[in-house]
Chains A and B, each alone.
Chain A
Amino acid sequence: MLYTLIPLLPLAAFLILGLFGHWIKDRAHLVAVPAVLTSFLFSLFVFDEVAGGKNVTIPLYTWLTSGDLRIELSLYFDRLTAVMLLLVTIVSGLVHVYTIGYMHGERGYARFFAYIALFTFSMLMLVMADNFLQLFVFWEAVGLCSYLLIGHWYERQTARDAATKAFIVNRVGDFGFLLGVLLIWLSFGSLEYRHVFAQAADLTGETLNLLSPIGGTWEVSTLTLICLLLFLGAVGKSAQVPLHVWLPDAMEGPTPISALIHAATMVTAGVFMVARMAPLYNLSAAAMDVVAVTGTVTMVLGATIALTQHDIKRVVAWSTVSQLGFMMMACGLGAYVAGIFHLLTHGAFKALLFLGCGSVIIALHHEQDMRKMGGLKDKLPVTYWTFVIGSLALAGFPFTAGFFSKDEILVEAWSAGALGKTLATFALVTVVLTAFYSFRLVFVTFWGESRVDPQHAGHLHEPSRTMTVPLVILAFLSIVAGYAAIPDFLAPVLPGPRGLAIHHEHPAAGGMMAIAAVLGLVGIAAAYLVYVTSPGLPDRLARQWQRAYRLSFNKWYVDEAYDRAVVRPTVRLADRLWTWVDVAVIDGAVNGVARTIAWWGWLMRLVQSGQTQHYALGMTLGAVVILTVYLLL
């Protein structure tokens, strides 16, 4: 009963708010917040039960049966589910509380709560799914909620197509996902996890001829094909290259949504899915390599692009893309435990960063451009300090949660063969970049001179208590989550391809920890040099040019060399990557395909000439062609 109530409470909140929302109006949070918080308490209880090693399946009802087809809606609880439940209910609960302040007095307050309650329900059902169809249905449902939430509450007029784009790009991924599910049905005759996982090993070695419709031969391992098709869904949902284009655009939505859906929960569903399907992926080395490489590419691309953005939410959004790639890389290298560990800590500190951005944006009356901020640390102390903690965690600063989870991934990756070592090197580079852009954000936004629009500068103040309390709680979690023994907790349920991972005894562990910490610090220091020391630099340089001999040459030289050798090329590369790879190639391809199809639509509709006799001729020719085919064959 308790188990069932976890998803049902948010659902009930949704139904109540959906049906009576026009009557409840401003009291909507009185319905939604207790529902989600109770779910959280129950999740704690479930966590405790499951921690004892007991896996529970609770059938809800038989969704459909027809012949061999039998699909039940059930709730499945194991350790992986338990930690995901905690993540979803905590973040969702805090976002609910935060929303009270953020959406205060806005149009459609009740409806907003209804939709986030619906989202919470769908996400909970997704992580508790015990069969592929249920997974797929709620996979779609979370996407739909995200679409509704972005579409309803645009904060800015730009990029109104973002919601549609998000939905369609996701459909491309889901096309693969559904094809994968159908292939599973064909291969296993069942859609339940436990049957599929139990029989998965029997399928190794079986192949499918992909080119048979056109008479060719291209034998592909069925398992690899299934894994890749499912992964296509994850690529869409978790914003991996090349389907990542929707996530930054989705930032047009309100910030609590960005925190809940586009940072902590929905976008991590892809990573969760890959970890959940570990028994399948472990049997297909090829699919895992694809996952790992895709993740790495996404990680590097996201981090480099984050360097040059000016919109604070976009910086955090690109950082999310990058971190998702990082988790995906971990899963691809078989370090599912580490990937999920990072997913959890990332959920805490990224939600914190987004909510922090939200506070800043609210305080500045919906200004999102970093160049019009600065010097906010005294005005918004709570936001500032929590934001710093979040950034430290993101940068992997020692003894924050991000440090432990990042380190976990790096060590695991390093020990995963040649490919692992290569990818781990990329990951180390990304650590520097991550530290750099996250502190660029801190320094530019909160330090230095205030560049705030004087209109708003006078009455800058910390947002209401409902908004700061969630920040403080998340900041707390961003530190302590690293100390929970989550890897040990999860290890039994997520075996890697080489069996259970025992990371502690690995000789590289200590070294990797030190390297990562140093690299993180290097990144922070670089950001400090560029964004805190440099603002005065141009002025000083002007003076120093005149008295060339007396200037402290070295400092100038270091700064300049650093600027020339590292910062500018990186920035330029990032800019290039963004304009070329992202805007031109990927966006171009997506839009190009859409435009081509639309163009065909315009062309083909001309067949419908309006002349009745053309129609009759078309029917006759159609019949004649069919007849000819049949009589000659």
Chain B
Amino acid sequence: MSVKRKISSHPYIPNSVPEVKAQMLQEIGIKSAEDIFGIIPDHLRFKGELNLPEAIVSEYELTKHVEELLAKNKNCKEYLNFLGGGCWQHYVPAVCKTIMERDEFLSAYVGEAFADHGKWQAQFEYASCIAELVDMDMVNTPTYDWAMACATTVRMASRITGRNQALVATSISPERLACIKNYAFSIVPDIVQVKCDPHTGLMDLEDLKAKISSKTACVYFENPNFFGVIESQAKEISRIAHENGALVSVGVDPISLGILAPPSHYGADIVCGDVQPLGIHMYAGGGLGGFIATPDEPKFVAEYPSLLFGITPTIEPGEYGFGEVLFERTSYASRDKAKDFLGTMAQLHGIVAGVYLSLMGPQGMREIGETIMYKATYASRRLGKIKGVKILFSAPHFKEFVVNFDGTGKTVKEINKALLQHKIHGGKDLSVDFPQFGQSALYCVTEIHSKKDLDYLADCLEKIVS
């Protein structure tokens, strides 16, 4: 793989130059690093050499090696992509990339708000932009992803209400459901799913009414839901929850919020979602970051596990400074007595989402929402006209929709294999997670798809199923 060679020092390890190393050992007063490691009992020492590949010390050779590996992937520039479901292909503006690439942000960590002032301000501005989008006053520094964000809201709701059951819509992402079940388990062991109306794709309100009780800490649903369906009964769901003393947590795709009402307007107490659509590439699922927003009331604020960056004056008149709000809540301050835990999460992605929202502004967010709505609606109509293919769920959808292939006699797996021959990544196969919907797939259409792309998809599908 690599060209074997002797080098006088490794480019990443400057003190590996033998003369420097020797001088340092002499100044310490030891002969070798073994004089430091010698304290490790012999039976705990690793003997021999690690069985790792030989070093590729040449940057060019490393690049070739990684390029060869990545060439085995069929990326979404080469292939048309219709996969979404929590990681979406959107256009990433150049300025977002430039800022994400800055070494200052990229390689900073937990520096204080003096020498890392810019990082704190960028993070505060990110939270401020999300706050406008969801129309709520308190926003966290991002957690790992939407799944951990919604699971966190369930724990927050449990602590606020003192209850230990959560009602969760069936129409949420199965991966997010799996995270909720594991993450919330210790205080919310009882996760009950509320049915989805098989015709409209909306929540079955009768089922909600039957299941909600004085044990319910919160009702969690997504809007648009995992199937792309716009939950138009949101206000009614909130009313039912509140009547029973439960909180309402809503997961939302932030790129929809230029045209769809923010959940706070239909009764949500807590809002969460993912920042990935806001100027961050998919990175094979690596581009995620979860936001949480609530009213700016102590009963909510006290239950966040996240760092909360607050604006505060400095000793220099007129200067903005920043600091941690209610730091004692966090596990950095209070360890096992804290509200859950925190750590290295997804702050860089938060900063980039702030850049994106500042570039887009209110007009851009409205326009992109409309564009996505137009294109997804066009695609679903086009596909719905193919013989044997039908669009499940009658309610309006945003960005994603469920295509059923039962009438074609073919499985989604077969269809997707055939689509690959046409250089298309077909929609996510739902037949395992949602067998009740037969051979169905979740298709995602965003602003990056042209009419030509959508027509090509429809033409290919037509050929495959006929």
Our verdict on whether A and B bind, yes or no, reads no
Q: Spell out A's residues near B (CB within 8 Å).
A: none
